[in-house]
């Protein structure tokens, strides 16, 4: 009998321990099996994390996520949820920025609230999940030299407990042009064993991220990335078919960006130095 009682106590303690781990996760029914209250959270891997959305200038874009009710039984009435900027969401952003600054990156900025609206969710009676959406329209006047975050969380759940660690999220505002984006004039020379030639053509730089843009590798039609470093030196990264050219690929001489003239000066080569490119790419 003592052995049976002891086994039951161990099992009960295990359930209590599991409950304490899950109590703040929001989307598990196990929490109420030991008497915990219902709890709401942002559903899936979005809660408590940094997500990324693709947005456009002066164009409305809608992104959708879900909230969830964790309880042993669904509620018998509708549950209105209010979303907005919460302390947990901004604290998460502060922690992210601290890591970025330590790594030598610029901190994220909070996207102005005038650039988006939130459609609040309602978890209907007898259900557990509901969608909420953000309608984002980036104004042309936004400073696109910066990178932005939308901090959002559950601000009110009609009296139901809100998850402390999964009741918020940060959304990275991706898809915005960097300051290098645009049309350029490329002049230079392609030293080649059988087809040496001048380079004289227009090139377009398209945003990859805040410091990196994609353009044409020499005059071959294949892409390369140009990453502007903190000291305005440039790292050239061949992409696509250019990445598979007979190697080794090497940067040689000066590779830099001049912000005053908006000019890239590039020197690179491949195929054991038998194909050498010198190029100046200047914004038109």
Minimum mean pLDDT range among 1-15, 50-64, 232-246: 1-15
Where do the structural domains in the chain lie, given as residue ranges? 21-174, 182-283
152 and 181 Cβ atoms separated by less than 8 Å: no
The reported pLDDT for the residue numbered 216 is 96
Mean pLDDT of the chain: 87
What value does the mean pLDDT take over residues 17-31?
40
What confidence score (pLDDT) does residue 14 get?
A: 35
- Number of other CB atoms surrounding residue 134 within 10 Å: 21
Nearest Cα neighbor of 17 from 6, 4, 7, 30 is: 30
Which residue from 192, 180, 205 is spatially nearest to 258, judged by alpha carbons? 180
In this predicted structure, the answer to whether residue 189 has a pLDDT above a threshold of 70 is yes
Sign, Cα dihedral of 21, 24, 28, 29: positive
Q: Pairing between strand 148-156 and 109-110?
A: parallel
pTM score above 0.75: no
Phi, psi values for residue 31, rounded to 5°: -60, -35
pLDDT higher at 5 or 99: 99
Fold of 21-174: Immunoglobulin-like (2.60.40)
DSSP conformation class of 158: T
| Contact predicate 160/39, CB 8 Å | yes
Mean pLDDT value across residues 146-165: 96
Q: What is the tens place of the pLDDT at every residue in 204-223?
A: 999 988 899 999 999 999 99
**What pLDDT does residue 147 have?**
92
For the cut 80, the answer to whether the pLDDT of residue 64 exceeds it is yes
pLDDT in tens, 68-118: 999 888 899 999 999 999 999 999 999 999 999 998 888 999 999 999 999
Mean pLDDT across 26-50 = 72
b/e burial code for range 171-192 (CB count within 10 A of at least 16 → b):
bbbeebbbbbebebebebebee
Question: Among 3.40.640.10, 2.60.40.1730, 2.40.128.420, 2.40.70.10, what is the CATH number of 182-283?
Answer: 2.40.128.420
How many whole angstroms from its chain centre is CA 168? 15
- Specify the residue for token string 């696509």: 240
pLDDT at 49: 95
- Please tell me the distance from the alpha carbon of residue 140 to that of residue 107, in angstroms, as a whole number: 21
């Amino acid at each position: 009998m003592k052995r049976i009682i002891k086994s039951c106590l161990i099992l009960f303690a295990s359930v209590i321990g599991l409950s304490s781990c899950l109590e703040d996760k929001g989307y598990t029914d196990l929490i109420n099996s030991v008497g915990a209250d219902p709890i709401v959270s942002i559903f899936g891997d979005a809660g408590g994390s940094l997500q990324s959305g693709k947005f456009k200038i002066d164009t409305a874009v809608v992104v959708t996520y879900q909230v969830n009710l964790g309880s042993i039984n669904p509620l018998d009435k509708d549950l209105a949820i209010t979303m907005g900027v919460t302390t947990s969401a901004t604290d998460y952003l502060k922690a992210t920025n601290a890591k970025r600054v330590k790594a030598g990156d610029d901190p994220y900025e909070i996207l102005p609230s005038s650039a988006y609206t939130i459609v609040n969710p309602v978890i209907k009676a007898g259900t557990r999940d509901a969608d909420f959406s953000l309608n984002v329209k980036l104004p042309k006047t936004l400073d696109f030299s910066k990178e932005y975050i939308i901090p959002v969380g559950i601000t009110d759940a009609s009296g139901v407990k809100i998850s402390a660690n999964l009741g918020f999220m940060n959304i990275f505002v991706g898809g915005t042009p960097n300051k290098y984006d645009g049309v350029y004039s490329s002049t230079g020379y392609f030293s080649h064993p059988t087809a040496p030639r001048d380079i004289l053509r227009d090139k377009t730089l398209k945003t990859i991220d805040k410091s990196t843009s994609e353009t044409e590798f020499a005059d071959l039609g294949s892409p390369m990335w140009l990453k502007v470093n903190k000291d305005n030196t440039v790292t050239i990264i061949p992409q696509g078919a250019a990445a598979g050219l007979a190697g080794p690929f090497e940067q040689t001489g000066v590779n830099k960006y001049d912000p005053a003239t908006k000019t890239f000066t590039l020197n690179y080569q491949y195929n054991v130095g038998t194909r050498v490119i010198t190029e100046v790419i200047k914004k038109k």
